[in-house]
Structure 1
Amino acid sequence: MTSLALDSDLWCRRFHPSPMATRRLVCFPHAGGSASFYLPLSAALCGPVDLLAVQYPGRQDRRKEAGGQDLHRMADEVSEALRRRDDLPLTLFGHSMGALVAFEVARRIERAGGRIDHLFVSGRKGPSADRPEHSHPLDDEGIVAEAKAMGGTDARLLEDEELLGMVLPALRGDYQAVGAYRADRDAAVTCPVTALVGDQDSWTPVPEAGHWRDRTMGAFDLRVFPGGHFYLSSRANEVTGMLRDHLAGTLRT
């Protein structure tokens, strides 16, 4: 059984210590998700890659904290934690809500003089300064129904009343945070950006995933996979292979 190594700070979890790592990959979960979502990816890439998974407040070992922070404030705190780890080339990967947080973290690190090797944004429309990021009702019934439809949260958690009571506060807080998020009109990164999306993702149509092109001054690539919003699960081998190629320095955009 894989042992869990907790990082010393509040925000990052390291599941597989890699003393010989030459690259660092920081992964940001979706709304309602936790750092452990990236445990399989960490296992697949361990050795040459130091994978850190971001742990948002309000879940797992941070369950006693209030969730639903402002995404900009969250990015402030995560970027500060990552600036203390500048010993390896840094790549960011965020899925759904995590794509927005990763984007804002990348902006802050670059603004402070740091370098992001690459930013991967998955399952999320390119951010807008004008429209809300989430227009669906935020009542608990609607949130649970959408979480079930998206498939990113274990259905057993959503169907068991006691377990639902444990996960719903974090899920609700994340939805509120995403709904309140607005990107600055001219917000952009200088690093290359790759947007990933499932071809059947009704929450992120492929053309809208392409809007990330407007949010980078570097190279842009759009990669479409078979599947819905959580194509990451069904296409895990392909996504892992793509990341492995990038982290080995062979990805071309």
Structure 2
Amino acid sequence: MTGNGVGADWLREFRTAARPRTVLVCFPAGGGSASAYRALAQQIGDGYTVLAVQYPGRQDRLGEPMIADIEEMAEQVARVLPAGGSEGLALFGHSMGATVAFETARRLEAQGHTLTRLFVSGRIAPTAPYPGRLHEAPDAELIAELERLADDPAAVSVLRSEPSIAELVLPAVRNDYRAVETYTFRPGDPLRCHISAMLGDGDPTVTAEQAGAWREHTTGDFELEIFPGRHFYLDEKVPQVASFVAARLS
């Protein structure tokens, strides 16, 4: 699945189990990269293989053209994911990654694959339009939005004082806001897999009611779990998130 094999471009393997009960595939937030899931992979426990999606245009794919279309990202990922076997397959996505994971799940199920669960974190349900045109905004407005979402706004403020860093970070952020803000849900059959929706109780981008609307997108079980924290609560609550996920993969 990784290395020089199928999915080498798109997938990074952060945890390997010889005989995994489940393969968990993680989708980063907008502007993010696969390495955001390294800590979660380390703490999720034995018996799981953890892969993370690496979107083009960042880290070791920096020289590749970015994709500003959520459905196209999902098409690419669905082509390289394992087709099944004795182990289960589950998807986890945060923020934009939740929508990419959802669209990937739709494609996999349409191809006849079985998913055990979809984890959607810090994201409104796909039927709700995402307001705004930040992808067309000046850099200063993008930085202000990142400060609004950050647990520590001061850590983001460096983008104002260090143009060289901003030149590396902001293109992916702008690209992914374009993907989010131009995404349109296409009606179709609900998923068969279970859905676990997750959010921080202080997240300014999604309410519990909005996260609860994910229940409309599965014929399986649905649950909503609220953690202490803001939009990026999972960075601060890695042990709790890892425990929550592992309990549902067992």
| TM-score after normalising by structure 2 | 0.90
Q: Over aligned residues, Cα RMSD in angstroms?
A: 2.0
Provide, for residues 53-89 of structure 1, a one-character-per-residue CA deviation record: whole Å limited to 9, x for no partner.
Answer: 0000110011111223311111011011014564520
**What secondary structure sits across from 1:15 in the alignment?**
strand
Q: Aligned-pair distance for 1:178?
A: 0.7
Residue ranges of structure 2 left out of the alignment (5+ in a row): none
CA contact (8 A) 1:68 1:175 kept: no
**What secondary structure sits across from 2:91 in the alignment?**
strand
Structure 1 residues 1-253: aligned runs within 5 Å: 6=3, 8=5, 9-45=8-44, 47-84=46-83, 86=85, 88-128=87-127, 132-138=129-135, 139=137, 140-151=139-150, 155=156, 158-159=159-160, 160-186=162-188, 188-248=190-250
Q: Distance in 1 between matches of 2:31 and 2:215?
A: 27
Relative contact order, CA 8 A, sep 6+: which one is greater? 2
When structure 1 is superposed on structure 2, of 238-247 and 81-90 the one drifting more is 81-90
CA contact (8 A) 2:15 2:51 kept: no
Q: Aligned-pair distance for 1:204?
A: 0.6
Which residue identity is paired with 1:158? L
Q: Distance in 1 between matches of 2:222 and 2:122?
A: 16
CA contact (8 A) 1:28 1:35 kept: yes
When structure 1 is superposed on structure 2, of 81-90 and 180-189 the one drifting more is 81-90
Residue ranges of structure 1 left out of the alignment (5+ in a row): 249-253
Provide, for residues 146-200 of structure 1, a one-character-per-residue CA deviation record: whole Å limited to 9, x for no partner.
Answer: 1122127962763421111011111110010111101113452111101001111
Which residue identity is paired with 1:101? V
Q: Distance in 2 between matches of 1:227 and 1:15?
A: 25
Q: Distance in 1 between matches of 2:4 and 2:184?
A: 30
**What secondary structure sits across from 2:230 in the alignment?**
coil
Q: Aligned-pair distance for 1:218?
A: 1.2
Which residue identity is paired with 1:232? L
**What secondary structure sits across from 2:246 in the alignment?**
helix
Q: Aligned-pair distance for 1:16?
A: 3.0
Percent pairwise identity = 39
| TM-score after normalising by structure 1 | 0.89
